[in-house]
Chains A and B, each alone.
Chain A
Amino acid sequence: MRPLTELETKTFFEKLAKYIGRNITHLIDRGDETYCFRLHRDRVYYVSESVMRKATSVGRDQLISLGICFGKFTKTGKFRMHVTCLDYIAQYAKHKVWIKPNGEMPFLYGNHVVKAHIGRVTEDTPEHQGVIVYSMTDVPLGFGVTARSTSDTRKMEPTAIVVFHQADIGEYLRQEDTLF
């Protein structure tokens, strides 16, 4: 467990900013408690400093996880967001997509979101923008990247993909072995 290096922080924040933009500052400067990002075995954990300090007494091999895992660095040095960070990025999300009940299960099985399943979309979402996917009851289901801007979407066919799937909460079941 160690703090992120300059380069790592840059890659990580760039990725994170795709979803929550400048709201990253809310993650770092919190009113209640100091939180920090820590790297442990390629994974980035977001954890309060008090918890982090206690966790330092756990050996490196024995420490499995602390706080919330945001994602991991791939071997090529890119950062990949995991669904586990959904709570935080849903809280600070800038662009959102709501899908209808009949589109919930297809998305939770790892499929892209087609236009027919879209219930609502945040206005003026640009193309290739990270978006959080919600159910109509405002339960965050996952996140993805828009295929088209909101205005372009209107002209598309109902079967066309609007949001490319990146992560969904179904992965808790589907990828329990590889995710953690």
Chain B
Amino acid sequence: MAGRSAPKKGANKAAPPAQTNNNKRKSNPSKEPSSKKAKTAPATTKVAAKGGKKLAKVAAPQDDSEDDDESWAYGAVSGSDDSDVEEMDDEFVSAEEGSDIEVGALNDDFLGDEFAGSDEESKGPGAAMFGSDDEDENEQGEEDNEEDIFASDSEEDSDEDDMEAKSRKLDAAAQAEAEEAEAEMQTNIMLESDKYVLPGEDHEILQSTDLQVVQARIQEIVRVLNNFREMREGNRSRNDYISQLLKDLCLYYGYNEYLMEKLFYIFPVSEAIEFFEANEVPRPVTIRTNTLKTRRRELAQALINRGVNLDPVGKWSKVGLQVFDSPVPIGATPEYLAGHYMLQAASSFLPVMALAPQEHERVLDMASAPGGKSTYIAALLKNTGMVFANDANKDRTKSLVANIHRLGVKNAVVCNYDGREFPGVIGGFDRVLLDAPCSGTGVISKDASVKTNKSEQDFQMLSQLQKQLILAAIDSVDAGSKTGGYIVYSTCSVTVDENEDVVNYALKKRPNVKLVSTGLDFGKEGFTRFREKVFHPSISLTRRYYPHMHNMDGFYVAKFKKVSNKIPKKEENVDLDEEEEFTPIVEESGKRNRGGKKRAAAAKAAEDVEQVGFNADEDEELIRASQAKLLQTQKGIKLRPKKNA
């Protein structure tokens, strides 16, 4: 760029003060901003660059090295005399320098305030460049420009316009078209820059236009967060980085903010990105051999004969096969219809393997449709004992019944209850599997609608339902069972609210169960503490599975052993505690009064309390009377004789 270096001096004269900064920066390209002044510089230059990137090309005809846009740019400036070109060139050079610097700035100190600050600081020069852009796009240059720097250019342009120039312009246009790709890229950048400079626009606009920029920023923030002490910039707190990162992630992966925040904190930062990335990729198709009808080797052979490309799913399962590709629909082969296998995600083998049902046991599957796990249980039982397959959704029981029949399960009873009714319907099971209804945050790759349609309310409702279900499941098990007495709780979700929290709740509410090892030799341990929550230490026996780590759906498995059928009366204790909590307050206040000042005051306080308080006896009578009245109006309810009437 020999042509550029010469007119630089002139540039410094003509350019607005901010651009002197730019030149300084260029001469000292070390990218860490040392002073406040230097920090604001990249921002300004960047704006300049936005306009400048194209403009720089306009200046190009003077340079031998500038290649692509030379011709059309030349057309734009043609007819202007040398000095003008020089001046313009200067302007543009500084602008392009800005663009160079911008890249550096993006890499190193692109975060947060620079962007915000840049808006304000750059308004003057930014506007100037904006104006110049417009002019260039008009090419003819006949419109008057309000900006000082270019106004003269355009006038002279129009003055000296002649046929030759026009023809050259045409040539230029043709060539420009030939170099479409490049030009297109330029235009994109232009658009982006335009939006960015628009007054009152936040940098979020920039985000929404270009995902690549967002992705680059995500990577950078992750890099900073991974080595925060050294990479952090100035006095920016970790929260600043994270809030920006969360916003970017929401935008880039399309989650709603609530869910993003929920998922983000489960993992270390870089792992979280891996997790989100893994959610964009489909998991491999896996099938489970139905050992009631065939063996894995035979099935594999039969499918290979149909041209299916498959492999065992892993050492951990003896019945799983992973299907890579298949010329025939894998869900409609004669083998499938004959019930030799079941299409089933690898992750849903896990809870059944953890449950490990033994022959001649009675097992309940509380939420069973479409029957993948129930049929696996039946296969492990070898059609002895019995399987209660329950599902709350009547429509889904159709596919459940179909699968049970197709796979040749002969000892199943299918029923349609709400799982919470369960110990009431039938209890005393040897084992219970509760694959609870969940938000599905582990299977986002299967159903991406989870990303946006789950709100805080959904999570609350689900975890409440899960807590009710897990208690029902625990109560349905017979602790006295010789071989069993186990409960397995699983979800296809990775959030802590639906997993550890629920298990912890169950441990608290049912002291007659304890967590035992799931018997699965892989998977991550459950959290014993998460953010502000601390769970029972035995929760480390539960297992978590992640799409990015195990290449299966996100999953959670916990296994309980019921020790006794009696629930120690914990609830009553809780109630007592609460009552006690109420009374000491009065006592305390009384004590204070006693210890501090006068007894009379204490007595008065007590009197006040009595006046304000309720008269239990009186109330009871009133309540009874009104209840009796109410009951008399209702039909079919027998009144109990009053006790003290």
Question: Which of A4-12, A121-129, A143-151, A165-173 sits within the interface?
Answer: A165-173
**CA A61 – CA B418 in complex, angstroms?**
13
Min distance, Cβ B524 to any Cβ of chain A, angstroms:
37
Closest to B404 in A: A65
Question: Is A84 touching B386 in the complex (CB atoms < 8 A)?
Answer: no
Question: Is A62 touching B386 in the complex (CB atoms < 8 A)?
Answer: no
In the bound complex, residues from chain B placing their C-beta under 8 Å from that of A104 are 334
Question: Is A65 touching B337 in the complex (CB atoms < 8 A)?
Answer: no
A152 CB–B CB distance under 8 Å:
no
Beyond the given A58-B415, A68-B410, could you list 6 further A-B residue pairs with CB under 8 A, ordered by the A residue number?
A: A57-B425, A108-B334, A137-B302, A140-B338, A169-B406, A176-B402
Question: Is B412 touching A172 in the complex (CB atoms < 8 A)?
Answer: no
Min distance, Cβ B136 to any Cβ of chain A, angstroms:
63
Mark contacts of A46-68 with chain B using CB atoms, 8 A cut-off: 1 yes-contact digit, 0 otherwise. 01101100110111011111111
Mark contacts of B330-368 with chain A using CB atoms, 8 A cut-off: 1 yes-contact digit, 0 otherwise. 011011011110000000000000000000001000000
**CA A57 – CA B417 in complex, angstroms?**
12
Question: Which of B307-315, B393-401, B466-474, B614-622 sits within the interface?
Answer: B393-401
Given contacts A57-B425, A176-B398, A176-B399, are A139 and B338 in contact (CB under 8 A)?
yes
Min distance, Cβ B307 to any Cβ of chain A, angstroms:
13
List, sorted by A's number, 17 A–B pairs whose CB atoms are closer than 8 Å: A50-B386, A54-B413, A58-B415, A63-B414, A63-B416, A65-B405, A67-B410, A67-B411, A68-B410, A69-B405, A87-B408, A135-B334, A141-B337, A172-B337, A172-B405, A173-B337, A180-B402
Say which residue of A50, A141, A177 sits within 8 Å of B338 (CB atoms).
Answer: A141
In the bound complex, residues from chain B placing their C-beta under 8 Å from that of A108 are 334, 337
In the bound complex, residues from chain A placing their C-beta under 8 Å from that of B399 are 176
A179 CB–B CB distance under 8 Å:
yes
Give the interface centre of B386, B401, B404, B405 by most chain A CB atoms within 10 Å: B405
In the bound complex, residues from chain B placing their C-beta under 8 Å from that of A47 are 410
Min distance, Cβ B477 to any Cβ of chain A, angstroms:
15
Given contacts A58-B426, A172-B337, A176-B399, are A51 and B408 in contact (CB under 8 A)?
no
Closest to A87 in B: B408
Interface of B with A (CB < 8 Å)? Answer: 302, 331-332, 334-335, 337-340, 362, 386, 388, 394, 397-402, 404-406, 408, 410-417, 425-426
Question: Is B406 touching A57 in the complex (CB atoms < 8 A)?
Answer: no
Question: Is A64 touching B415 in the complex (CB atoms < 8 A)?
Answer: yes
In the bound complex, residues from chain A placing their C-beta under 8 Å from that of B337 are 108, 141, 169-170, 172-173
In the bound complex, residues from chain B placing their C-beta under 8 Å from that of A69 are 401, 405
Question: Is A58 touching B425 in the complex (CB atoms < 8 A)?
Answer: yes
In the bound complex, residues from chain B placing their C-beta under 8 Å from that of A51 are 386, 411, 413
Min distance, Cβ B447 to any Cβ of chain A, angstroms:
21
Closest to B386 in A: A51
Question: Is B335 touching A63 in the complex (CB atoms < 8 A)?
Answer: no
Top 5 A-B pairs, shortest CB-CB distance: A169-B337, A64-B414, A84-B405, A180-B401, A65-B414
In the bound complex, residues from chain B placing their C-beta under 8 Å from that of A67 are 410-413
Give the interface centre of B404, B408, B410, B412 by most chain A CB atoms within 10 Å: B410
**CA A153 – CA B75 in complex, angstroms?**
89
Min distance, Cβ A134 to any Cβ of chain B, angstroms:
10
**CA A64 – CA B335 in complex, angstroms?**
26
**CA A177 – CA B398 in complex, angstroms?**
7
Say which residue of B406, B411, B416 sits within 8 Å of A64 (CB atoms).
Answer: B416
Closest to A48 in B: B411
CB contact list, A68-106 vs B, under 8 A: 68-69, 84, 87, 104-105
Question: Is A65 touching B412 in the complex (CB atoms < 8 A)?
Answer: yes
Give the interface centre of A87, A105, A170 by most chain B CB atoms within 10 Å: A87
Min distance, Cβ B419 to any Cβ of chain A, angstroms:
12
Given contacts A58-B426, A68-B410, A176-B402, are A141 and B415 in contact (CB under 8 A)?
no
Min distance, Cβ B412 to any Cβ of chain A, angstroms:
7
**CA A5 – CA B386 in complex, angstroms?**
27
Question: Is B414 touching A66 in the complex (CB atoms < 8 A)?
Answer: yes
**CA A148 – CA B256 in complex, angstroms?**
66
Question: Is B334 touching A139 in the complex (CB atoms < 8 A)?
Answer: yes
Give the interface centre of A50, A170, A180 by most chain B CB atoms within 10 Å: A180
Closest to B421 in A: A62
Min distance, Cβ A50 to any Cβ of chain B, angstroms:
7
In the bound complex, residues from chain B placing their C-beta under 8 Å from that of A61 are 416
Question: Is A141 touching B334 in the complex (CB atoms < 8 A)?
Answer: yes
**CA A47 – CA B386 in complex, angstroms?**
11
**CA A169 – CA B425 in complex, angstroms?**
34
Min distance, Cβ B388 to any Cβ of chain A, angstroms:
8
Question: Is B415 touching A62 in the complex (CB atoms < 8 A)?
Answer: yes
Min distance, Cβ B620 to any Cβ of chain A, angstroms:
39
Question: Is A57 touching B412 in the complex (CB atoms < 8 A)?
Answer: no
**CA A65 – CA B400 in complex, angstroms?**
10
Closest to B410 in A: A68
Min distance, Cβ A18 to any Cβ of chain B, angstroms:
21
Closest to A88 in B: B410
In the bound complex, residues from chain B placing their C-beta under 8 Å from that of A172 are 337, 402, 405-406
Closest to B335 in A: A139
**CA A67 – CA B404 in complex, angstroms?**
9
Question: Is B413 touching A55 in the complex (CB atoms < 8 A)?
Answer: yes
